């Protein structure tokens, strides 16, 4: 079956599917898969089969076709096809509650360089990752992913994606509400603080700042009471984002300054990086170049202090989808850099590099 006939049969299957003749549509697409020699056509029909089985609740079949689609994308040697197929693989595992695999495949999607489909599918990747984090009860990470998905939806006028994100946020809210109920029953103050922080972040993401501020105040009160300084940093970061949304940039900077002091006290580099990023955006909007440069410099200093870069080539680790190697001394390098270096000891501390681990 050639390219033109493949296109015709795919279209025929779509017409059958849209007229609710699902089984007939599946038969047409399976026949195309068996007879077509057109790789692009095979990739498209596999996408149809993945979507159809997802909507029918046949998640194991969905996964089977997603795996075949990955192999086809590799044959095509096109990053756009790889992105779409890895997303389908992530969704399949999400439906089967294989949440760690879902997160791994989503990260692979995000690590693929310069794909045309990235702007269109990035929101769906973030949504799938958020659902996986929610399945693992990692509420803060779930909310961050949902917020990214919402930004994609708003920036691209994607109302369908926005609806799907709102549905996931509804599930998120219900789980946090149940967790809060348990925390109150058992007098678990740390869990109460976390739930209040999650509630505040949810209201902030929805633009309901009037409700968000009191929740942040309650969360801060408990975080201070139990001595959770990192929790206080997270609260202040949320408060700063609220003030940014209200265009009250000086108040936002006050909250960031307090959070930065706490983050430096506990030595949490990730929080410091987030705070410097938010400060950069504020000073950029205010046109204050000297302060902007200071935070850019401090951001890069935090990256270096965190050793988030390869000690051989100097490139940041995580910007590209590269294989890493962890040595027994805990130093991490790009695998290719160590192979090219040719030494059997760690380039940083010169210890013997026996039994390395791969990341």
pLDDT in tens, the chain (359 residues): 778 888 888 888 889 888 888 889 889 889 988 888 888 888 998 999 998 888 888 899 999 999 999 888 888 888 888 888 999 999 999 988 899 999 988 888 877 765 555 566 888 899 999 999 988 878 888 888 888 888 888 888 888 888 888 888 888 888 888 888 888 888 888 888 988 998 898 888 878 899 999 999 999 999 999 888 888 999 999 999 999 999 999 999 999 999 999 988 888 887 888 899 899 999 999 899 998 899 888 888 877 776 566 777 777 665 555 667 767 666 777 777 777 776 667 777 666 544 444 43
From first CA to last CA, the distance across the chain in angstroms is 43
Output phi, psi for 331, to 5 deg: -80, 145
Q: How far is CA 65 from CA 25, 92, 112, 184, 329, in A?
A: 15, 10, 21, 45, 42
H-helix or E-strand containing 153? helix 139-155
Q: How far is CA 317 from CA 16, 161, 267, 321, 344, in A?
A: 48, 31, 20, 9, 21
Which pair of structure tokens corresponds to residue 264? 């430096």
Fold of the 319-358 domain: Herpes Virus-1 (3.30.40)
352: left (phi over 0), alpha (psi -120 to 50) or beta: beta
> Under a CB-based contact definition with an 8 Å cutoff, are residues 105 and 86 in contact?
yes
> Under a CB-based contact definition with an 8 Å cutoff, are residues 272 and 302 in contact?
yes
| pTM check: above 0.85 | no
In Å, the largest CA–CA distance within the chain is 71
184: left (phi over 0), alpha (psi -120 to 50) or beta: alpha
Burial label, 335 (beta-carbon count in 10 A; 0-12, 13-18, 19+): middle
Domain with CATH 1.25.40.10 in the chain: 187-306
Domain with CATH 3.30.40.10 in the chain: 319-358
Q: Which CATH class is domain 187-306?
A: mainly alpha
Give the distance from CA 28 to its chain's centroid: 36
Which pair of structure tokens corresponds to residue 60? 């194991």
């Amino acid at each position: 079956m050639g390219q033109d006939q493949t296109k015709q049969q795919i279209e025929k299957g779509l017409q059958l599917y849209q007229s609710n003749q699902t089984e007939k549509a599946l038969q047409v697409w399976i026949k195309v898969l068996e007879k077509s020699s057109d790789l692009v056509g095979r990739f498209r029909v596999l996408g149809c089969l993945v979507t159809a089985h997802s909507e029918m609740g046949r998640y194991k079949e969905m996964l089977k076709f997603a795996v075949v689609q990955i192999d086809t994308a590799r044959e095509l040697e096109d990053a756009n096809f790889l992105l779409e197929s890895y997303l389908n693989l992530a969704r399949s595992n999400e439906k089967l509650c294989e949440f760690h695999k879902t997160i791994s495949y989503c990260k692979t999607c995000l690590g693929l360089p310069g794909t045309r489909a990235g702007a269109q599918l990035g929101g769906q990747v973030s949504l799938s990752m958020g659902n996986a984090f929610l399945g693992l009860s990692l509420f803060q990470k779930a909310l961050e992913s949902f917020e990214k998905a919402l930004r994609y939806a708003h920036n691209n006028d994607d109302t369908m994606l926005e609806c799907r994100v709102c549905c996931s946020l509804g599930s998120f809210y219900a789980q946090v509400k149940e967790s809060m109920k348990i925390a109150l029953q058992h007098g678990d103050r740390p869990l109460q603080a976390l739930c209040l922080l999650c509630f505040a972040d949810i209201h902030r993401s929805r633009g309901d700042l009037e409700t968000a501020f009191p929740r942040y105040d309650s969360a801060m009160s408990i975080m201070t009471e139990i001595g959770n300084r990192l929790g206080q940093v997270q609260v202040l970061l949320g408060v700063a984002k609220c003030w940014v949304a209200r265009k009250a940039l000086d108040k936002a900077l006050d909250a960031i300054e307090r959070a930065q002091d706490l983050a430096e006290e506990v030595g949490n580099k990730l929080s410091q990086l987030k705070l410097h990023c938010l400060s950069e955006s504020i000073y950029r909007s205010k046109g204050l170049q000297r302060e902007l440069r200071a935070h850019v410099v401090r951001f890069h200093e935090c990256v270096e202090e965190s050793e988030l870069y390869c000690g051989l080539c100097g490139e940041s680790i995580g910007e590209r989808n590269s294989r890493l190697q962890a040595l027994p001394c805990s130093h991490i390098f790009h695998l290719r850099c160590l192979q090219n270096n040719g030494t059997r000891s760690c380039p940083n501390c010169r210890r013997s590099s026996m039994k390395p681990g791969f990341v």
